[in-house]
Amino acid sequence: MGELIMSAPVAGLISKNKITVEDVTMLRREVFADGVVSRGEAEALFALDQTARDKCGEWAPFFVEAVTDYIVHQEKPEGYISEQNADWLVRTVSRDGMVDGRTELELLVHVLEEARSSPSELSAYVLEQVAHAVIDGKGPLMHGGSLVPGHIAKAEVDLLRRILYAYGGDGNIAISKAEAEVLFRINDRTAAADNDPSWSDLFVKAIANHIMCSTGYEPPTREVALRHENFLDEAAPTLGGFFSRMVSGGFAAILEAYHSPGDIEAEWEARNRAAEALARRAETIDASEAEWLAKRVGGGRRPLRDNERALLTLIKHAAPEIHPTLKPLLEKVA
């Protein structure tokens, strides 16, 4: 912690152990009218959040807004989260690798949403908080909720999607390996559950984005690559009943995102044509990517799961060249 800047009003709130609507109004107008401008002021807000047991509903939005503005816009470089600032934020909101509460989790997601760029480790850490809840029944998502460990409901998928969208700022287009590892771990640990169909939709498109994107090709934004569309319209006849159970998004959408400007400005079309050779090279799955993917889908030692089969089918259709490592797996799909 840095030098804690504890104004008299904040110290008074900490001592009374309660935050009312009037207190939040006072903090906005009198204490932080110019925003949170120093690390010490930010840490005073954290101290207040951690010590007050009775907090009004207006507190959480104010806290998230104030700390986000500080870490994204007051700290240098403005708009970007440095590794040092990300480390400070994680240390401040966490205990034993887990976020303290829902307000702190919302803060992390909002910081990712507001920043133009942030370390990939920060996004993976936030994804891990969902994994803790889904896999082990631990963490802030379990507080007062009805989440069932070992099962992914739509609410958890929506939160995962929001986190992945949030990290899609400048330079953060492709799903990182750290993020993909978390998604695969969730998939492995919930494979036997009757998960919400939206999980398979997100998993397939996110992992495909990680595999297909590489340096030298400018892929679409995460929001485009992971958007909701009619799922696998073009491939559905070859894939059977699994995709008939899916509710949205998928192969047709992701291929459109990668190979067509769609509703993007006309300049994208010219830029993509100019980068066609680079795109083909980038889409080629190299040895390291193939080895990683083969290992993550069981290395052929167990039957393919439905969403793994969907992922391999998408890659088989979309990648112009496939590394020999993957060919035994791809032979198992249509």
User: According to the model, what pLDDT value does residue 72 have?
Assistant: 93
User: According to the model, what pLDDT value does residue 68 have?
Assistant: 94
Q: How many distinct helices (H) and strands (E) make up the chain?
A: 19, 4
Q: Is the pLDDT of residue 238 over 70?
A: no
User: According to the model, what pLDDT value does residue 214 have?
Assistant: 45
Q: Where is pLDDT greater, at 100 or 142?
A: 100
Angstrom CA distances, 43 to 49, 95, 194, 229, stand at 10, 16, 42, 43
Q: Report, as an integer, the average pLDDT of 313-329.
A: 77
> Which of 24-38, 59-73, 99-113, 243-257 is predicted with the least confidence, judged by mean pLDDT?
243-257
User: According to the model, what pLDDT value does residue 126 have?
Assistant: 92
Q: Is the pLDDT of residue 63 over 80?
A: yes
User: According to the model, what pLDDT value does residue 176 have?
Assistant: 84
SS3 328: helix
Calculate the average pLDDT of the chain: 76
Q: Is the pLDDT of residue 248 over 70?
A: no
DSSP 290: H
CA nearest 327: which of 316, 317, 216? 316
User: According to the model, what pLDDT value does residue 70 have?
Assistant: 92
Q: Report, as an integer, the average pLDDT of 82-107.
A: 89
Q: Is the pLDDT of residue 57 over 90?
A: yes
Confidence of residue 99 (pLDDT cuts 50, 70, 90): confident
pLDDT in tens, 164-213: 888 755 455 678 888 899 999 999 999 888 899 889 889 988 888 887 76
User: According to the model, what pLDDT value does residue 13 have?
Assistant: 84
Domain boundaries, the chain: 196-334
Cis peptide before 77 (omega within 30 of 0): yes
* Pairing state between β 94-95 and 54-55: unpaired
CA nearest 313: which of 228, 235, 233? 235
Share of the chain above pLDDT 70, in %: 70
Q: Report, as an integer, the average pLDDT of 92-100.
A: 85
User: According to the model, what pLDDT value does residue 142 have?
Assistant: 56
Going through the chain in order, the beta strands assigned E by DSSP cover: 18-19, 54-55, 94-95, 98-99
Q: Which pTM value belongs to this model?
A: 0.75
User: According to the model, what pLDDT value does residue 285 have?
Assistant: 66
Q: Which two tokens stand for residue 211?
A: 């595999």
Q: Where is pLDDT greater, at 247 or 277?
A: 277
Q: Is the pLDDT of residue 264 over 80?
A: no
User: According to the model, what pLDDT value does residue 326 have?
Assistant: 81
Q: Is the pLDDT of residue 237 over 90?
A: no
CA nearest 281: which of 250, 320, 329, 239? 320
User: According to the model, what pLDDT value does residue 268 have?
Assistant: 39
Contact 131, 182 (CB under 8 A): yes
